[in-house]
Amino acid sequence: MKVLSKLFALLLVLALAVTGCAAPPAPVADGGSSAAEAPAETSGFTVGVSNTLVGNGWREQMICAIKAEATASGVVDKVIVVNRNGGPTEQIADLEGLISQGVDAIILNPTDRDGLNAVLEAAIAQGIVVVAVDQAVTAEGAYVVTNDQVAYAQNGAEWLFEQLGGAGKVAEMRGIDGVPADTDRHNGFMAALANYPDIEVVAETFTGWDPSVGAQQTLDLITTQEIDGIWTSGIDYPAVEQFTTANLPYVPIVGADNNGFVKQLLELAGDGLVGAAVTNPPAIGAVGMSIAIDALTGNSPSLVTTLNPEVIATGDTAGLEALYAPDQQPGWSTYVNIAPYTHYNGSADVSACKGPGE
């Protein structure tokens, strides 16, 4: 028995010695994840970009702003841009291609509010951050970063209807039929129209946000029927040019904060041009990149980020001058610094249009 007692004591000492040398169990954080797990990545990200409208200055600047913010962040190694004209079918294929390339995040300007949900939710299920910019999607888990498109149209239309004294014949020049921004803007236009029963919409066109298409449609409108005012979904400076071509007096025009339109509002005011620029910055793309980086680096950005548009009209010379930049393209906006989201060096970095490593 003494031998057995001594043997048991020896085994107990050995057991305690082994336990004392072993690492203590890792604490478990709320939610059941172990603190011993590897931390989230903080750099080296690859971001894919899907754009389906080529030849549009606004979209070009959107992409350049995305690249500028990626470069300024210092945590994105590569931006892959898939850029072609197309609809939902083409965009789905492009999104699938980006997923297959192993991107960490996707920023897209969507062609459909609901029709992309399956591929977007598949990306999110794989841990890819998805950010829709400029236009909204309804995919569960996707971030949405937009200008308030309903307010964009409603505020501009109200300015126009007031400018006409509450009565007159107007043209509504829309964007691309069926895309989310166009639908939202049309709803905003109609909401304004409901309060002005003596305003008659005598023409509704779809420009495709193509300057040449918008120019031809404007020329046809003003030379074939009576038009007292024009609301455009951003096809503004080409519309103004057609009055000179047709040798006709200007009518009040609503457009976006395109550099060419702002220049016209400043330089042609003495010739009778009256208009309003409604802010709709292409730098919304950079805001989307900022949101994507926040999500990738473990922060918790809001799922929805909405910018409020401003109306800057004839008579507000200081406001128009602040928007105008002589060295910028007509279809670009100088509204590129959007606090607190953007971190690049203003228009210079956006104009360079260089992503990380380019």
Separation between Cα atoms, residue 83 and residue 152, nearest integer Å: 26
Q: In the prediction, which pLDDT does 43 show?
A: 87
Distances (CA, A) of 344 to 47, 73, 286, 298, 341: 17, 8, 9, 22, 10
Average pLDDT of the residues of the chain? 90
pLDDT of residue 40: 55
3-state secondary structure the chain: CHHHHHHHHHHHHHHHHHHHHCCCCCCECCCCCECCCCCCCCCCEEEEEEECCCCCHHHHHHHHHHHHHHHHHCCEEEEEEEECCCCHHHHHHHHHHHHHCCCCEEEECCCCCCCCHHHHHHHHHCCCEEEEECCCCCCCCCEEEEECHHHHHHHHHHHHHHHCCCCEEEEEEECCCCCHHHHHHHHHHHHHHCCCCCEEEEEEEECCCCHHHHHHHHHHHHHHCCCCEEEECCCCHHHHHHHHHHCCCCCCEEEECCHHHHHHHHHCHHHCCCEEEECCCCCHHHHHHHHHHHHHCCCCCCCEEEECCCEEECCCHHHHHHHCCCCCCCCCCCCCCCCCCCCCCHHHHHHHCCCCCC
Residue 20 has pLDDT above 70, yes or no: no
Q: What is the mean pLDDT of residues 333-340?
A: 93
> How would residue 301 be classed by pLDDT, with cut points 50, 70 and 90?
very high
Chain segment 55-85, per-residue pLDDT in tens? 999 999 999 999 999 999 999 999 999 999 9
As a whole number of angstroms, the distance between CA 118 and CA 129 comes to: 15
More confident residue, 270 or 35: 270
Mean pLDDT of 128-155: 98
Report the amino acid identity of residue 137: V
226-251 burial, b if ≥16 CB within 10 A, otherwise e?
Answer: ebbbbbbbbbbbbbbbbbeeeeeebb
pLDDT of 252 above 60: yes
- Whether pLDDT at 318 is above 60: yes
Cα 343 to Cα 69: distance, rounded to the nearest angstrom: 6
pLDDT score for 334 = 87
Q: Is it the case that residue 1 has pLDDT exceeding 90?
A: no
Mean pLDDT of 238-249: 97
Q: What domains can be seen in the chain, in order of their start residue?
A: 45-147+282-309+331-352 (3.40.50.2300), 149-278 (3.40.50.2300)
pLDDT in the model for residue 116: 98
Give pLDDT, residue 39. 39
